[in-house]
Amino acid sequence: MLTDSELAVVREVLIRGPIPRRDLAARVGLSSPSLTRLVTPFLASGLLVETSEPDSGAVGRPTRPLTVRSDWGRFAGVKITGDRLHCVVTDGRAVPLVTADEALISHGPEQVADQLAAFLRRITGEIDALGVSVGGVVADGLVVDGVFLGWRDVDFGALMAARLGIPVVTENDVVALAEMQRWFGAGLSTSGFALITIGVGVGYGLVVDGRVVSSREAGAGLAAHVRLLENGPECELGHRGCADSLLTSRSIEGRYSALTTRSWTADEVLEAAARGDEAARQVTGESALALGRFIALAANLSLQSTVVLAGDGIGLWALEGDRMQEAASADRGPGADAIHIEVDTSGFAAWARGAAVVAIQHTLRCGQGMTGVV
For residue 122, give the 3-state DSSP assignment. Answer: helix
For residues 109 and 221, which CB has a smaller minimum distance to Zn ion in the complex? 221
For residues 4 and 230, which CB has a smaller minimum distance to Zn ion in the complex? 230
For residues 187 and 221, which CB has a smaller minimum distance to Zn ion in the complex? 221
Cβ atoms 226, 240 nearer than 8 A: no
User: Rounded to an integer, what distance in angstroms lies between the CA atom of residue 233 and that of residue 240?
Assistant: 5
Angstrom CA distances, 344 to 50, 163, 324, stand at 31, 33, 15
Between 170 and 209, how does the x/- string for binding to Zn ion read (CB under 5 A)?
----------------------------------------
Between 207 and 226, how does the x/- string for binding to Zn ion read (CB under 5 A)?
------------------x-
HSE-CB of 354 using CA atoms within 13 angstroms: 31
For residues 127 and 298, which CB has a smaller minimum distance to Zn ion in the complex? 298
CB of 232 to Zn ion, least distance (A): 10
Phi and psi dihedrals of 76, rounded to 5?
Answer: -120, 140
CB of 258 to Zn ion, least distance (A): 18
Report the C-alpha dihedral over residues 315, 86, 210, 297, rounded to 10 degrees: 40
CB of 236 to Zn ion, least distance (A): 7
User: Rounded to an integer, what distance in angstroms lies between the CA atom of residue 2 and that of residue 66?
Assistant: 18
CB of 199 to Zn ion, least distance (A): 16
Count of residues that interact with Zn ion, criterion CB under 5 A: 6
For residues 197 and 361, which CB has a smaller minimum distance to Zn ion in the complex? 197
CB of 240 to Zn ion, least distance (A): 8
CA 333, 336, 338, 342 dihedral sign is negative
CB of 196 to Zn ion, least distance (A): 15
* Cis before 18 (ω within 30): yes
Between 227 and 266, how does the x/- string for binding to Zn ion read (CB under 5 A)?
--------x-x-x--x-x----------------------
DSSP bridge partners of 80: 85, 134
Phi and psi dihedrals of 289, rounded to 5?
Answer: -60, -45
For residues 75 and 204, which CB has a smaller minimum distance to Zn ion in the complex? 204
Residue ranges in contact with Zn ion by CB under 5 A: 225, 235, 237, 239, 242, 244
